[in-house]
Chain A
Amino acid sequence: EIVLTQSPGTLSLSPGDTATLSCRASQSVSSSYLGWYQQKPGQAPRLLINGASGRATGIPDRFSGSGSGTDFTLTISRLEPEDFAVYYCQQYGTSLTFGGGTKVEIK
């Protein structure tokens, strides 16, 4: 089973800042099978990024994904108040796993 490790655990930033979130896999992941999700309190997760770098439907362009192999990054430019949330990466190999999450909080 592929283990995804997200860092940092918490990111304290101000609106307008840029957030850089990391997701590292215990073995190589095909980029097509790597996604990022946003979860706000009391809500279900929402798919942000598919295929490591493609934005899901309706996702603003301040969200971008990159990476390959074992290292993937989610970048959120110009943080808006509604972007403060928890973010998860997810992969599918033979089994589906999530990272432990990164909380982006207001500084």
Chain B
Amino acid sequence: QVQLQESGPGLVKSSETLSLTCTVSGGSVSGHYWSWIRQPPGKGLEWIGYVFYIGNTNYNPSLQSRVTISIDTSKNQFSLKLTSVTAADTAIYYCARSSNPFFLLDNWGQGTLVTVSS
């Protein structure tokens, strides 16, 4: 059974770069799309972007200027970098998989809370 696990600092200073990694176990990153989604406390879901296993990416237009998502197939991991963070970037960050061509997210990590401090 494929499992996803987010890791990275839980506290980031304002104006710095948020960096998270999602490790995939029980299966390969090959052949699938891998997304990052975030959820501010008590609010709804916001898609950040995806990376395809060969490295193609697509980002939320509202975040595109600050986001980089990359993949390391040798480590079975993919990563998120979000630059110039502010308090508005405080959220639970989830990684997720789309094993279908319709970009429906059928497997999710448990999420990790990242707080941006001033």
Contact = CB atoms under 8 A, between A and B. Distances in A.
Interface of A: 1, 32-33, 35, 37, 39, 43-47, 50-51, 56, 88, 90, 92, 95-101
9 contacts: A39-B45, A44-B109, A45-B105, A47-B105, A56-B106, A88-B44, A92-B103, A96-B103, A101-B44
A92 B106 CA distance: 14
Interface size class of B (residues with CB under 8 A): 20 to 34
Interface in B30-62: 35, 44-47, 50, 58, 60-61
A78 B90 CA distance: 37
A19 to B, nearest CB: 19
Contacts, number: 59
Given A95-B58, A100-B44, A44 B111 contact: yes
A95 B60 contact: yes
A88 B35 CA distance: 17
Given A88-B44, A95-B47, 20 more contacts: A33-B104, A35-B104, A43-B110, A44-B94, A44-B109, A44-B110, A45-B45, A45-B108, A50-B100, A50-B102, A50-B104, A51-B104, A95-B60, A96-B35, A96-B47, A96-B60, A96-B103, A98-B44, A98-B45, A98-B46
